[in-house]
Structure 1
Amino acid sequence: MAKRSRRRSRNGDAEAEVLAPPVWPGVEGGAFRPLSDSDEIEVNEAVLMLLETLGLSQATPSMIKMVCAAGGAYTDEKRLLFPRDLVEKTIREARRDLVLYGQDPVNNLDISGKRVHMSSGGGAPGVFDLEDGHYRDGTLQDLYDAARICDAMENIHHFSRSIVARDIENVADMDLNTAYACLMGTSKHVSVSVSEPENLAQLADLCYTLAGSEDTFRAKPFLTVMVCHVVPPMRFAEEALDTLEAAVLAGFPVQLISAGQAGATSPATIAGSLTQAVAETLAGLVFARLVDPNVAAIFGPKPLVADLRTGSMCAGSGEQAILMAGAAQMGRFYDLPTTSIAGITDSKALDAQFGSEKNLAVSSAAHAGSNLITQACGMQASLLGVSHAAYVVDNDMLGNILRSVRGIEVNAENIGAEVIAEVCKGEGHYLGHRHTFSRMKTDYFYPHLGDRRTPREWEAGGSKPIGDVARDKTRELLATHFPTHISDEKDRELREKFNIYLTRDQISRSG
């Protein structure tokens, strides 16, 4: 556990003497272990057996050639087999020293070890309108607004594309403008997906132009490509494999994601769903490292849970929470940079269900030591909708969760036996004591919106539920927070080169 006066700097440099806030990006988790040591070994053995004897179907010619050259086999049943030695070598030699770079270095994230970071995510088709509270199709403006809200939230460390811009029909234009809206809206690290492999080259060109050169971007890439490289159970997605290969060759970090649904595309049991997802994800890691041994790859087993009575997603369930904790724990077992999915409440509004489901899932993944928890904020309606106001509410929740992950730092200074004796012999209370004052800002997280007033004070203040308070704050942010990390000159260069949909008025304070 980190000492109060020491923490790792946000740019990933060595630890330095600083006065730490109550929470910070990279608080170390891993204390929650729903799997025993023997469970981890048994899951791993099943994973290696499945990859070696069953393998995956629908591999691309490029993948078949690379894996077979490395010792794999392609069967008459057209399944690609991954020998144990190859998988274990991949795990052993995979990079652990990953930093997700921000366009502003203050937002760099060290995702090695057990460091925990919170992220948006989702790719929802809909938005819950801030003004009328009804569901509607998401737009590019909505995505840009989501990015700049998250840019202002200190406990949302990373921005993963959360809204599908339904107002752009051309798929190539949508991929390009999705990246542009995210990168313009926040200087934090951004993750996006790519609809078709042919669109990857234009995305790379956008990033190289923004960075100033291809070499500059490759040295400190500020955008990750998320790839769902499998169509469970145990089948590859051919176009996604082409996208993955192109992304690796272009110098992008990649998230390798398996997202089967328990009882539908993965086993109904938690252990079975977990095992399949880990196997599918490791198969992607083998391929990514064969394309480039130095690839910045993030291990992303993200299995989901279905309500077996109806077949619909139940992402806010206890089963989903424990499944994600197990997936994070397997990431720690392999010591791989790991991303998990959590916070996908099934609720449609900012209500009790919303808070309880999100807190359970995100807390479980965080305490299990997931390095990057996506969908941790903003999402509602089982991934079908995003609420801009929810980002503001969730920022408080994430701060509290990170504080609980930070845990209890036990040492002589923190126990304060001398302080206890001094107080007991003197004033008889700790109010006003120098020890109390010295710890107010370093040991305690104070929510921005969470209401701690008395009932009478709350009523005198208008009796506003937290959703109304959040909407007011969101309106204020959208009217005032326009990030300026990309200069007007650079933006004009991008507009001359690419088909940018957002107007200058939409991204400026004068708009």
Structure 2
Amino acid sequence: MNTSSGTTRRGRRGRRAQGPGVDDARAVVASVSGGGLSPLTDRDVAAIDHAVRHILLEIGMAEAPADVASLICSVGGAIGTDGRLVFPPDLVDRALGGVRRDVTLFGQMAGHDLALTGTRVYAGSGGAAPMVVDLETGDYRPSTLEDLYDAARLVDQLDHIRFFSRSMVARDMPDEYALDINTAYACLVGTSKHVMVSAATPQAVRDIAEMCWIIAGSRRTFEARPFLSLNINHVVPPLRFSSEACAVLLQAAQLGIPFHVNTFGQMGASSPVTIAGCVAQTMAETLAGMIVAWAANPQACIVFGPRPMITDLRTGGMAGGSGEQALLTAAAVQMARHYGLPNSTIAGATDSKVVDAQSGSEKSLAVTLAAQTGANLITQAAGMLGGLMACSYEAYVADNDMLGAIMRTLNKPQVDAQTLALDTIADVAREEGHFLGQSETYRRMQSDFLYPQISDRRSPEDWIADGGRNIRDVARSRAREILETHYPAHIPTLTDASLRQRFDIRLPPVLTNRG
């Protein structure tokens, strides 16, 4: 027993010392696919699809703006006697058959491409929180533009957070337009990964597009490799269009900017209290937006974004960390897969207020189910606390390890004569009695294992001797280290100067020119 324990401790120390293995092994989660989990039966999927088509034809969407109504009627839709816009089955089928499936979102630099095909899975940030957890004091405070820039810089260095969706609101901006323009700028200079932001008006869409064209060098260059996309919440559940968001959607479609057609309904509040009913309504609302986008521009890069959320019926608040939320999200993802659409969803909206066991368990459950079901993009998967009310730097770092482990589970094990290793088993059983000295063991140590960056695998004695810090403390130290040293410089100084000359950029140059 003592010999075995000693061997285990030496093995742990040895693994921690193997720097090259840590870096090389990240390749095992570089491109992974889900789709192994299907919470709905084929019969369930067919029943929900039937309900979706019934909602679109028999109930329809209220408050359709005149240009949206005219556009949909021109491709086969109609205005019902009650004034609601309806979508006949033939129109739904033509849109599903015509919408683009070959959607790829790019980063500003190589290595950050997101090919939204099949059941490929990428997890990233998001949330639009009004608060940030101060890295030094731990207090919740209003978030600022500099906080958003810091979040982008941090994510830029975290391998398993594959894209940066605007995670907090810069509450120090004077108006909506300044917020939209400065949010886009802070995100784009803060990371070379793909960026997702939002816009409140068509003018903001046009100016964000121009910002991207300046960075890319031309409109054509950006359109060939779009490194920014827009989140658009085109509907107000239940079954009402948002006229402002529809105007943004039509402008984005015209300019060729990729965008996410998102629907946020809350089960039991703005959508039915059952998972089946909530998913059916959410699918109908999201498909309505997708059909509008397709009618506006059949070549538009559209990401189908059902985001049904759970309501805690005791309080009326969101319960993003619940088991019901994880199941609801997985069901919505399966329906998006059924329609064969590039898709995104939310998973990771923990109700915990700090980086703790509740946060880890709730996020892991929701993100795992979404990934295993095959969501292309999982937003809000890292960095968020308090039911999406706050963004946390240490949460980003801790969640990065969690995401790496989850994505690792999507790599199916290889089973063949080599991996079954019958000859090796026979040799070792008759000789050394352990596999640590085998060349295959060392080789696969470098390629088959993903080693955590901050999670602690040392013995209790070693951990205590090193201060016995919990994961929140370690994550805070790592976040502080990154933010003190990493200032991305992927946008040339002259380009940055052009952006500042053209737009009212509120982020001080002293911050963005440190690279």
TM-score (norm 2): 0.94
Q: Aligned ranges for residues 44-443 of structure 1 at < 5 Å?
A: 44-443=49-448
Equivalent pair of 2:368/2:406 in contact (CA under 8 Å): yes
User: How far, CA to CA, are the matches of 1:485 and 1:292 in structure 2?
Assistant: 32
Equivalent pair of 2:25/2:451 in contact (CA under 8 Å): no
For 1:176, the aligned partner's letter is I
1:476 matched to 2:495: no
CA RMSD after TM alignment: 1.2
In structure 2, the residue corresponding to 1:112 is in which secondary structure? coil
* Pairs aligned (count): 492
Q: Aligned ranges for residues 3-18 of structure 1 at < 5 Å?
A: none
Equivalent pair of 1:321/1:361 in contact (CA under 8 Å): yes
Q: Which residue of 1 aligns with 2:13?
A: none
Equivalent pair of 1:218/1:251 in contact (CA under 8 Å): yes
CA-CA distance at 1:507 after TM superposition: 1.6
Once the two structures are superposed, what CA deviation does each residue of 1:403-422 show, in whole Å capped at 9, x if it has no partner?
Answer: 11223222222222222222
CA-CA distance at 1:21 after TM superposition: 4.3
Q: Which residue of 1 aligns with 2:508?
A: 503
Equivalent pair of 1:221/1:251 in contact (CA under 8 Å): no
Q: Which residue of 2 aligns with 1:31?
A: 36
Equivalent pair of 1:325/1:368 in contact (CA under 8 Å): yes
User: How far, CA to CA, are the matches of 2:507 and 2:38 in structure 1?
Assistant: 45
**Structure 1 residue aligned with 2:454, among 441, 449, 463?**
449
User: How far, CA to CA, are the matches of 2:477 and 2:261 in structure 1?
Assistant: 38
Q: Relative to structure 1, is the Cα distance of residues 243 and 296 closer, same or farther in structure 2, using a 3 angstrom cutoff? A: same
In structure 2, the residue corresponding to 1:23 is in which secondary structure? helix
Range with bigger deviation, 212-221 or 43-52: 212-221
Equivalent pair of 1:144/1:181 in contact (CA under 8 Å): yes
User: How far, CA to CA, are the matches of 2:431 and 2:254 in structure 1?
Assistant: 68
CA-CA distance at 1:218 after TM superposition: 1.5
CA-CA distance at 1:105 after TM superposition: 2.2
User: How far, CA to CA, are the matches of 1:335 and 1:422 in structure 2?
Assistant: 49
User: How far, CA to CA, are the matches of 1:261 and 1:157 in structure 2?
Assistant: 27
Q: Which residue of 1 aligns with 2:15?
A: none
Q: Which residue of 2 aligns with 1:14?
A: none
In structure 2, the residue corresponding to 1:337 is in which secondary structure? coil
In structure 1, the residue corresponding to 2:262 is in which secondary structure? strand
Bigger proportion of residues as helix: 2
Q: Which residue of 1 aligns with 2:494?
A: 489
Equivalent pair of 1:25/1:157 in contact (CA under 8 Å): no
In structure 2, the residue corresponding to 1:146 is in which secondary structure? helix
CA-CA distance at 1:82 after TM superposition: 0.3
User: How far, CA to CA, are the matches of 1:23 and 1:382 in structure 2?
Assistant: 31
CA-CA distance at 1:222 after TM superposition: 0.8
For 2:97, the aligned partner's letter is R
Once the two structures are superposed, what CA deviation does each residue of 1:453-474 show, in whole Å capped at 9, x if it has no partner?
Answer: 1111111000101111111111
User: How far, CA to CA, are the matches of 1:173 and 1:270 in structure 2?
Assistant: 39
Once the two structures are superposed, what CA deviation does each residue of 1:21-62 show, in whole Å capped at 9, x if it has no partner?
Answer: 453343010001100111111111110111011110111111
Range with bigger deviation, 23-32 or 222-231: 23-32
In structure 1, the residue corresponding to 2:102 is in which secondary structure? coil
Once the two structures are superposed, what CA deviation does each residue of 1:362-421 show, in whole Å capped at 9, x if it has no partner?
Answer: 001000000000000000000100001110000000000001122322222222222222
TM-score (norm 1): 0.94
In structure 2, the residue corresponding to 1:405 is in which secondary structure? coil
Equivalent pair of 1:419/1:435 in contact (CA under 8 Å): no
CA-CA distance at 1:238 after TM superposition: 0.8
**Between the two proteins, what is the percent identity of the paired residues?**
48
Equivalent pair of 2:29/2:411 in contact (CA under 8 Å): no
CA-CA distance at 1:334 after TM superposition: 1.2
CA-CA distance at 1:20 after TM superposition: 7.3
Residue ranges of structure 2 left out of the alignment (5+ in a row) = 1-23
